[in-house]
C-alpha cells in the first residue's frame, strides 16, 4: 500500500514536530488530533495552541484530514515568525526606552486642587466608555488567539454595562465557552494518547 501523506507534509516546507494522535472505535469512526510546532520554539504563547481535532469516518479522514491540517500549518508558520518579530521589537523598544527617555516631572497640585474631593460614582464620558469597551474586546481577542478562554471570559464586558452591545457580547461569550470546552476535551484526548 502506498500513500502520499509524508510527501504532502514534506511539500509544506514546514520543518518541525508533528504530534498526531489517532483513536478509532468499533463503528469505524475516527478522532484524530494533529498539532504542528517548529523545532525551536521557546515562546510561551506557542505552547497555548490547541491541536486540530478531526472526527469522522474513514472516508471523511481520507478526503478532509490533510486539507484541514495544511490550513492549520500555514497559519502557524506565520504565527511563529510573527512571535519572533514581536519579541525582537519589544526587546528593542525596551532598550531604547531605558537609554533615551527621561521620566517627566510630576506637576505639583495647587491648594484648590488638593482640597477637591469627588463624591459618588465618577462620571464616565461616552468616549471613555467606548474606549474601555474597545480595549477590553481587543484584550479578549488576544486571549482568544492565545487559547486562554477562561481569562477572556473573565474580562469580557458585561451586557448590563453595554446593553447596546448585547448581541455581540452574548455571541462572544457563547463562542469562548464553546472553545473552552473544546480545548479541555482536546487536552484530555492528547493526554490520554
Q: Could you read off the pLDDT of 103-128 as tens digits, one per residue?
A: 445 455 555 554 554 444 456 688 88
Residue with cell 509544506: 12
| Collapsed DSSP state (helix, strand, coil) of residue 54 | strand
Residue with cell 469597551: 133
pLDDT exceeds cutoff 70 at 133: yes
| Collapsed DSSP state (helix, strand, coil) of residue 118 | coil
Q: Could you read off the pLDDT of 25-54 as tens digits, one per residue?
A: 898 898 888 887 766 666 666 666 777 788
pLDDT exceeds cutoff 50 at 102: no
| Cell digits of residue 140 | 479578549
Q: Are 169 and 189 in contact (CB under 8 A)?
A: no
Provide CB contacts within 8 A for 136, sequence distance 6+.
Answer: 155, 156, 157
Q: Could you read off the pLDDT of 59-79 as tens digits, one per residue?
A: 888 888 777 777 777 777 666
Residue with cell 514581536: 86
| Cell digits of residue 158 | 458585561
pLDDT at position 164, please? 92
Instruction: Report CA-CA distances (Å) from 57 to 5, 83, 135.
Output: 18, 36, 43
Is the pTM higher than 0.75? The answer reads no
pLDDT at position 101, please? 45
Amino acid at each position: 500500500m502506498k500513500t502520499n501523506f509524508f510527501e504532502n507534509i514534506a511539500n509544506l516546507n514546514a520543518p518541525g514536530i508533528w504530534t498526531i494522535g489517532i483513536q478509532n472505535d468499533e463503528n469505524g469512526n475516527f478522532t484524530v488530533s494533529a498539532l504542528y510546532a517548529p523545532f525551536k520554539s521557546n515562546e510561551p504563547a506557542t505552547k497555548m495552541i490547541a491541536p486540530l481535532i478531526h472526527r469522522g469516518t474513514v472516508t471523511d479522514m481520507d478526503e478532509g484530514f490533510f486539507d484541514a491540517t495544511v490550513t492549520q500549518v500555514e497559519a502557524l508558520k506565520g504565527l511563529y515568525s510573527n512571535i519572533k518579530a514581536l519579541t525582537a521589537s519589544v526587546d528593542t523598544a525596551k532598550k531604547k526606552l531605558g537609554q533615551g527617555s527621561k521620566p517627566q516631572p510630576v506637576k505639583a497640585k495647587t491648594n484648590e486642587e488638593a482640597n477637591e474631593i469627588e463624591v459618588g460614582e465618577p462620571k464616565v464620558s461616552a468616549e471613555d466608555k467606548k474606549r474601555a469597551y474597545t480595549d477590553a474586546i481587543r484584550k479578549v481577542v488576544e486571549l482568544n488567539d492565545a487559547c486562554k478562554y477562561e481569562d477572556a471570559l473573565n474580562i469580557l464586558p458585561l451586557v448590563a454595562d453595554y446593553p447596546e452591545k448585547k448581541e455581540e457580547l452574548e455571541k462572544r461569550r457563547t463562542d469562548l465557552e464553546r472553545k473552552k470546552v473544546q480545548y479541555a476535551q482536546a487536552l484530555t484526548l492528547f493526554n490520554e494518547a
